[in-house]
Amino acid sequence: MRSVLPRESLPKLAGVPHEEWSIRDHANVLYTLFPLDQFLLMQDHVAWIALRPVACDRTEIRLTTLAPRGEITPERKKHWARNHAITTATLEEDFDLNEAVQDGVDSGANQAHTFGRYEGALHSFNRQVEAKLGR
């Protein structure tokens, strides 16, 4: 599954010929590979988010920053550490929010849930999971 997460600069591409577009300059692209690995493509590096369920209510998360080989130098060490810290902080906010949502779903208080347009890919993902489970 591929999600495009636009930056504020994306509308500026409206007057630029398509062949001059560079999506990574104006959006982050998130690839989710079945079952639980994600790769977040950013301007100059990739964040690998590995999710491993360890219980029905617990998941181990490992975040790895992947930088171009030629850019891994002592001079750039602070740059990559800062980028990793920013990505970690951003994802921790998402994880905290998702944990609260999951607590609400698990409470049984709602008989139905409505997904927004962004979550449309979940139907495809759920079909793939069901197929892998042989259902």
Q: Does a structural domain hold residue 113?
A: yes
Strands (E), the chain: 2-6, 27-33, 37-41, 46-55, 58-66
| Mean pLDDT of the region 9-30 | 90
Average pLDDT over residues 82-92: 93
- Closest by Cα among 68, 101, 67, 60 to 83: 67
Encode burial over 112-130: b for 16+ CB neighbours within 10 A, e otherwise. Answer: eeeeeeeeeeeeeeeeeee
pLDDT over 90, % of the chain: 43
Is 116 part of a structural domain of the chain? yes
Measured in degrees and rounded to the nearest 5, phi and psi for residue 27 equal -160, 155
- Flag whether 35 is in a domain: yes
Give me the domain span that covers residue 76. 2-129
The model's pTM is 0.75
Flag whether 94 is in a domain: yes
The answer to whether residue 84 sits within a structural domain is: yes
Cis peptide before 74 (omega within 30 of 0): no
Residue 116 has pLDDT above 70, yes or no: no
Task: Calculate what percentage of the chain has a pLDDT beyond 70.
Answer: 96
Query: Residue 55: inside a domain, yes or no?
Result: yes
Residue 132 has pLDDT above 80, yes or no: yes
Token code pair at residue 84: 């990793």
Residue 134, in any domain of the structure: no
pLDDT band at 17 (very low <50, low <70, confident <90, very high): very high
Distance CA 4, CA 29 (A): 5
Residue 135 lies in a domain: no
Residue (of 80, 63, 62) closest to 72 by Cα position: 80
State residue 111's pLDDT score. 81
Number of domains in the chain: 1
**Max intra-chain CA distance, the chain:** 55
